């Protein structure tokens, strides 16, 4: 595994190739828990740890650089979430001389998770720094990117920003840098991560990015995925776009179906939207696509058409899960309408539309497009027209 970022700075964390459920959202490739070793002329620091079951990997990777936990002078904890801090419980007792460097909020959280009574904390604040001899660690508070205690660490001599969750991607690889993996895949994983982890925290993430911009940056070392090097500009531009809520002329048509009637309606809606030149249309079935992938598609979409049959006078449970994700991730500034089939009661699409409005989306129709049992050619034409109108409304909003 490649580990050398620059002289004295090494990636020593772990790869979790087989994880597919990252605290509730799907990851297709697995995950990395990045930990970084920084060796100065006088002192040695570890930047963040790994998830608890991966401490052995971290120790082996440190040993490959001739370092034991007892050699560490500092263990910097940028973030208390357990995918990084979980390993501290086993690691810290082995670090016989190290100070545990974090902000006061982080210490409080760590002290809830672990018995830290024997930990030798050094509490740092925004603007403070530690000297490792010929290298310096400067601390930058980045609250709510991802948790209240989140912090980044900057190494000015080598122009390295240890950015924690910001700019992370779930992209396990034995490669080290962004230029060593396909950029399209990497940018997709950056988007997937942002859409599902940081989207709800757009304002505080934007504030964290703003703090990073004045820094000279040769490397951004996130706590997940590869190191940004050649493509730092693309990663920052993407974060600026997403955190500002800038939408594309993209329509996402997502639906569930029982006996394919709502599916036929969804296809007609999508076909209608696609008739408007320049519209990017995605047709997504809740049955075949994980919510985390749908939220990734929704991130840059300016409009969502939501289809559901009626089940027990309500929308389908998959639609409820989608609406929950939308609410939690605050995906609200979008145009919308609802549609769906029903038998003897048409509550599903109506309740879906109510929920979309309650979430703050703007419906282009007063009522859902409904059909009884099976869509007639007339109903399918209504669906096409609604799809066209949604794409046109988005076009007008964008102009
Ligand atoms: Fe990767 Fe918020 O922890």
Span from the CA of 147 to the centroid of ligand 1 (angstroms): 8
Half-sphere CA count of 133, side-chain side, radius 13 A: 11
Span from the CA of 44 to the centroid of ligand 1 (angstroms): 24
Kindly compute the dihedral angle of the four CA atoms of residues 46, 51, 57, 59, in this order, to the nearest 10 degrees. 40
Residue nearest to atom 3 of ligand 1 (CA): 81
Q: Which residues are CB-neighbours of 1 under 8 A, at least 6 positions away?
A: 15, 61, 174
C-beta of 79 in contact with ligand 1 (< 6 A) = yes
Instruction: From the CA of 168, give the closest atom in ligand 1.
Output: 1
C-beta of 223 in contact with ligand 1 (< 6 A) = yes
Span from the CA of 168 to the centroid of ligand 1 (angstroms): 9
Residues 184 and 167: beta-carbon distance below 8 Å:
no
Span from the CA of 102 to the centroid of ligand 1 (angstroms): 15
- CA-nearest of 189, 255, 196, 254 to 222 is 189
Say what the pTM is: 0.95
C-beta of 43 in contact with ligand 1 (< 6 A) = no
C-beta of 103 in contact with ligand 1 (< 6 A) = no
- CA-nearest of 286, 278, 275, 280 to 251 is 280
- Alpha-carbon Rg for the chain, nearest whole angstrom, is 24
Each residue's pLDDT expressed in tens, for the chain with a length of 399 residues = 899 999 999 999 999 999 999 998 899 999 999 999 999 999 999 999 999 999 999 999 999 999 999 999 999 999 999 999 999 999 999 999 999 999 999 999 999 999 999 999 999 999 999 999 999 999 999 988 889 999 999 999 999 999 999 999 999 999 999 999 999 999 999 999 999 999 989 889 989 889 888 999 999 999 999 999 999 999 999 999 999 999 999 999 999 999 999 999 999 999 999 999 999 999 999 999 999 999 999 999 999 999 999 999 999 999 999 999 999 888 878 999 999 999 988 799 999 999 999 999 999 999 999 999 999 999 999 999 999 999 999 999 988
Residue nearest to atom 1 of ligand 1 (CA): 165
Instruction: From the CA of 165, give the closest atom in ligand 1.
Output: 1
C-beta of 51 in contact with ligand 1 (< 6 A) = no
- For residues 113 and 51, what is the distance between their CA atoms, to the nearest angstrom? 13
Span from the CA of 64 to the centroid of ligand 1 (angstroms): 26
Strand runs labelled E in 259-314: 280-285, 301-307
Residues 66 and 16: beta-carbon distance below 8 Å:
no
Span from the CA of 151 to the centroid of ligand 1 (angstroms): 11
Other beta carbons less than 10 A from residue 353's beta carbon: 25
C-beta of 331 in contact with ligand 1 (< 6 A) = no
Span from the CA of 97 to the centroid of ligand 1 (angstroms): 27
C-beta of 142 in contact with ligand 1 (< 6 A) = no
- For residues 125 and 198, what is the distance between their CA atoms, to the nearest angstrom? 23
Q: At what angle do helices 317-328 and 347-358 cross, to 10 degrees?
A: 10
Q: At what angle do helices 377-398 and 261-274 cross, to 10 degrees?
A: 40
Q: Which residues are catalytic?
A: 23, 79, 81, 83, 146, 165, 193, 224
Instruction: From the CA of 197, give the closest atom in ligand 1.
Output: 2
C-beta of 81 in contact with ligand 1 (< 6 A) = yes
C-beta of 163 in contact with ligand 1 (< 6 A) = no
Instruction: From the CA of 33, give the closest atom in ligand 1.
Output: 1
- CA-nearest of 75, 73, 103 to 89 is 75
pLDDT at 168: 97
| Start-to-end Cα distance in the chain | 48
């Amino acid at each position: 595994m490649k580990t050398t970022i620059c002289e004295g700075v090494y990636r020593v964390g772990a790869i979790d190739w087989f994880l597919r459920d990252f605290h509730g959202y799907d990851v297709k490739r697995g995950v990395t828990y990045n930990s970084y070793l920084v060796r100065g002329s006088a002192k040695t620091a570890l930047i963040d740890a790994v998830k608890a079951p991966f401490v052995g990997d971290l120790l082996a990777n440190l040993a490959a650089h001739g370092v034991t936990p007892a050699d560490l002078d500092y263990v910097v904890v940028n973030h208390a979430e357990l995918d990084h801090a979980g390993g501290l419980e086993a690691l810290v007792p082995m670090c016989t001389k190290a100070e545990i460097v974090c902000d006061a909020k982080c210490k409080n959280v760590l002290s809830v998770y672990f018995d830290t009574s024997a930990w030798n904390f050094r509490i740092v604040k925004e603007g403070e720094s530690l000297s490792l001899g010929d290298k310096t660690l400067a601390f930058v508070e980045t609250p709510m990117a991802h948790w209240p205690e989140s912090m980044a660490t900057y190494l000015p001599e080598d122009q390295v920003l240890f950015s924690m969750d910001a700019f992370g991607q779930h992209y396990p690889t034995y490669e080290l840098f962004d230029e060593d993996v396909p950029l399209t895949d990497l940018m997709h994983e950056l988007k997937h991560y942002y859409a599902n982890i940081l989207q709800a925290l757009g304002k505080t993430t934007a504030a964290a990015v703003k703090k990073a911009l004045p820094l000279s940056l040769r490397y951004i070392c996130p706590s997940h995925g590869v190191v940004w090097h050649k493509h730092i500009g693309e990663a920052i531009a993407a974060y600026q776009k997403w955190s500002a809520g800038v939408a594309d002329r993209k329509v996402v048509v997502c639906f569930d179906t029982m006996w394919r009637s709502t599916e036929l309606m969804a296809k007609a809606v999508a076909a209608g939207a696609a008739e408007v030149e320049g519209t990017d249309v995605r047709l997504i079935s809740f049955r075949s696509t994980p919510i985390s992938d749908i939220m990734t598609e929704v991130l840059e979409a300016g409009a969502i058409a939501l289809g559901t049959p009626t089940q027990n006078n309500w929308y389908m449970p998959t639609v409820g899960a989608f609406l929950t994700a939308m609410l939690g991730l605050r995906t609200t500034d979008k145009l919308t309408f609802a549609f769906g089939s029903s038998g003897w009661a048409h509550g599903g699409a109506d309740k879906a539309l109510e929920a979309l409005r309650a979430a703050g989306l703007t419906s282009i129709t007063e009522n859902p497009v409904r059909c009884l049992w099976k869509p007639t050619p007339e109903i399918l034409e209504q669906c096409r027209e609604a799809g066209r109108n949604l794409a046109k409304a988005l076009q007008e909003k964008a102009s």
